[in-house]
């Protein structure tokens, strides 16, 4: 396959043979038939590769996972039912009860809850660090039981840009992998593996699907991290799995160890599989991802420049603006533009935000983000509405923060709608 990302978006993962369908077939089947009991038995022992039950693997999903793997420049990949499932599996595949890991505090709220609260109940402790932490301070956070470092290429909703290369070096100095959630950038705008990330995760629900039609996730393994070289840290990969007659993943599957374990153990036991029908929709989204991302970025920069000039706007964060504190980092990691999401504050706080949102016609108020349709969310009125001003600030969510996701409509139409909204604020 060509090295160019555009060609990978359209053609990756699946090449029909003579007379086969142009589109990927949807294998809408829970199970797969074998002629002999012996063949089936080998699949259950992971002695042969093949399909037997869609909770573990399905051919449609695997074609789409193969495409995303090619797009990211990885070695192996899998789809999951959601982005949440992808991040859970990516961490839980190498962290057990009693382990510890490090995650950037500039991450999606759902991931923050998963890492800070739910994993804690499973005996896995997460320490959150600030993206601006110095190398020396970061080094001090590592413990003997630290198993991975996690960050988001562009954080949701604060659109901070993550210094992938720096954090990859620090993680590797401590013998652990770097996991990067690349949802907002997509492999069209940034390929974290090229900067040293070992595992890449996605909420495919966002730009990859791109049309608000299906929730999904993906995990891509670069194949670069040498688990066996740090065998004592990763016993789940390097010591016998009794649920498969004592098989050792690193010995049997080499570079495929991480994804094989996540599929044959975590997917088997937790069952967070994506439906083949959703994988089919996802693939349609991927075919135009490169075209859409460019337009999302182009439109978003126009809107961001408009907001930056408006006297109704208190502040704005969008990494492609020259004035943004992360602009230098954006130029390094996202030279072709970042994404369509930005956040800004309306002067006058919570009340002013309500006035701004009161009469929007084109910009939809939804929980979603990274969609073909322009949409926004005001955390203080929506996702975080139970919180007081003090609680909001403590959670790092400014009461006047509006998360704006710029779609593919005409940029002037979007700006006009936003302008009318801002004119309502007096």
Ligand X SMILES: *Cc1c(COP(=O)(O)O)cnc(C)c1O
User: What is the smallest separation between the CB atom of 343 and ligand X, expressed in angstroms?
Assistant: 13
- How far from the centroid of its chain's Cα atoms is residue 57's Cα? 21
Q: Does 215 bind ligand X (CB under 6 A)?
A: yes
Q: Could you give the C-alpha distances from 318 to 14, 271, 301, 312, 326, in angstroms and in order?
A: 36, 37, 8, 17, 8
Stretch that binds ligand X, among 47-55, 107-115, 254-262, 394-402 (CB under 6 A): 107-115
Question: Which tokens in the block code for residue 270?
Answer: 């937790």
Q: Does 210 bind ligand X (CB under 6 A)?
A: no
Nearer to ligand X, 69 or 84 (CB): 84
Q: Does 181 bind ligand X (CB under 6 A)?
A: yes
Nearer to ligand X, 152 or 371 (CB): 152
DSSP string, 360-391: -SSSEE-S--S-SS-EEE-TTTTTTTT--HHH
Nearer to ligand X, 172 or 382 (CB): 382
Question: CA-CA distance, 138 to 171, in Å (whole number)?
Answer: 10
State which of residues 58, 61, 146, 156 lies at the interface with ligand X (CB under 6 A).
Answer: 156
CB-nearest residue to ligand X: 83
- How far from the centroid of its chain's Cα atoms is residue 370's Cα? 12
Q: Which residues have CB under 8 Å from 204's CB, separation 6+?
A: 68, 79, 83, 214, 216, 217, 218, 282, 285
Q: Which residues have CB under 8 Å from 111's CB, separation 6+?
A: 84, 87, 103, 152, 181
Nearer to ligand X, 84 or 238 (CB): 84
Q: Does 82 bind ligand X (CB under 6 A)?
A: yes
Q: Does 206 bind ligand X (CB under 6 A)?
A: yes
State which of residues 57, 93, 203, 274 lies at the interface with ligand X (CB under 6 A).
Answer: 203
E strands in 175-333: 178-181, 199-203, 217-221, 313-317
User: What is the smallest separation between the CB atom of 154 and ligand X, expressed in angstroms?
Assistant: 8
Buried b (16+ CB within 10 A) or exposed e, 379-411: bbeebbeebeeeebeeeebbbbbbbbbbbbbeb
User: What is the smallest separation between the CB atom of 330 and ligand X, expressed in angstroms?
Assistant: 16
Nearer to ligand X, 110 or 349 (CB): 110
State which of residues 106, 131, 183, 278 lies at the interface with ligand X (CB under 6 A).
Answer: 183
Judged by CB under 6 A, the number of residues near ligand X is 17
User: What is the smallest separation between the CB atom of 26 and ligand X, expressed in angstroms?
Assistant: 21
State which of residues 106, 111, 158, 299 lies at the interface with ligand X (CB under 6 A).
Answer: 111
Q: Does 186 bind ligand X (CB under 6 A)?
A: no
H or E, element range at 301: helix 289-309
Question: Which tokens in the block code for residue 167?
Answer: 């954090």
Q: Does 110 bind ligand X (CB under 6 A)?
A: yes
User: What is the smallest separation between the CB atom of 107 and ligand X, expressed in angstroms?
Assistant: 7
Question: CA-CA distance, 127 to 424, in Å (whole number)?
Answer: 42
User: What is the smallest separation between the CB atom of 126 and ligand X, expressed in angstroms?
Assistant: 15
User: What is the smallest separation between the CB atom of 332 and ligand X, expressed in angstroms?
Assistant: 20
SS3 215: coil
Q: Does 278 bind ligand X (CB under 6 A)?
A: no
User: What is the smallest separation between the CB atom of 56 and ligand X, expressed in angstroms?
Assistant: 20
Q: Does 274 bind ligand X (CB under 6 A)?
A: no
State which of residues 83, 236, 285, 379 lies at the interface with ligand X (CB under 6 A).
Answer: 83
Stretch that binds ligand X, among 50-58, 77-85, 227-235, 349-357 (CB under 6 A): 77-85
Question: Which tokens in the block code for residue 113?
Answer: 């809850």
Q: List alpha helices for 2-130, DSSP H.
A: 5-11, 37-44, 59-72, 83-92, 109-113, 119-121
Residue with the two structure tokens 């413990």: 143
Q: Which residues have CB under 8 Å from 49's CB, separation 6+?
A: 43
Nearest to 145 by CA among 102, 99, 177, 179: 99
User: What is the smallest separation between the CB atom of 214 and ligand X, expressed in angstroms?
Assistant: 9
Q: Does 375 bind ligand X (CB under 6 A)?
A: no
Nearer to ligand X, 222 or 274 (CB): 274
User: What is the smallest separation between the CB atom of 50 and ligand X, expressed in angstroms?
Assistant: 29
Q: Where do contacts with ligand X occur on this chain (CB under 6 A)?
A: 82-84, 87, 108, 110-111, 152, 156, 181, 183-184, 203, 205-206, 215, 217
């Amino acid at each position: 396959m060509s090295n160019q990302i555009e060609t990978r978006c359209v053609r990756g993962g699946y090449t029909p043979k003579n007379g086969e369908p142009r589109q990927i077939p949807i294998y809408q089947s829970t199970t797969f038939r074998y002629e002999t009991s012996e063949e089936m038995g080998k699949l259950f022992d992971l002695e042969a590769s093949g399909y037997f039950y869609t909770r573990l693997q399905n051919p449609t999903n695997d074609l789409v996972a193969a495409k995303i793997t090619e797009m990211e420049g990885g070695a192996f990949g899998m789809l999951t039912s959601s982005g949440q499932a992808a991040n859970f599996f990516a961490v839980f595949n190498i962290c057990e009860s009693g382990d510890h890991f490090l995650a950037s505090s500039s991450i999606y709220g759902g991931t923050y809850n998963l890492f800070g609260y739910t994993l804690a109940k499973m005996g896995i402790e997460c320490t959150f660090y600030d993206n601006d932490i110095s190398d020396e301070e970061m080094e001090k956070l590592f413990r003997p039981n630290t198993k991975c470092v996690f960050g988001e290429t562009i954080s949701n909703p604060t659109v901070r840009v993550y210094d992938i290369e720096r954090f990859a070096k620090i993680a590797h100095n401590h013998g652990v992998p770097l996991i990067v959630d690349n949802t907002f950038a997509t492999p069209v705008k940034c390929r974290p593996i090229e900067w040293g990330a070992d595992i890449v995760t996605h909420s495919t629900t966002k730009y990859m699907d791109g049309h608000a039609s299906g929730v999904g996730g993906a995990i891509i393994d670069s194949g670069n991290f040498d688990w066996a070289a740090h065998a004592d840290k990763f016993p789940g990969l390097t010591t016998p799995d009794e649920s498969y007659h004592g098989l050792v993943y690193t010995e049997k599957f080499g570079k495929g160890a991480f994804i094989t374990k996540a599929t044959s153990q975590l997917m088997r036991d937790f069952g967070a599989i994506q439906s083949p029908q959703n994988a089919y929709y996802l693939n349609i989204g991927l075919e135009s991802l490169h075209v859409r991302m460019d337009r999302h970025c182009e439109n978003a920069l126009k809107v961001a420049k408009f907001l930056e000039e408006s006297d109704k706007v208190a502040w704005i964060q969008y990494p492609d603006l020259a004035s943004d504190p992360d602009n230098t980092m954006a130029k390094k990691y996202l030279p072709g533009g970042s994404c369509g999401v930005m956040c800004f504050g309306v002067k006058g706080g919570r009340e002013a935000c309500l006035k701004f949102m009161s009469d929007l016609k084109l910009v939809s108020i939804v929980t979603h983000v990274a969609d073909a349709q322009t949409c926004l969310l005001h955390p203080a009125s929506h996702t975080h509405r139970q919180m007081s001003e003090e609680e909001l600030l403590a959670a790092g969510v400014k009461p006047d923060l509006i998360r704006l996701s710029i779609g593919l409509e005409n940029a002037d139409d979007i700006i006009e709608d936003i302008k009318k909204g801002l004119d309502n604020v007096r």
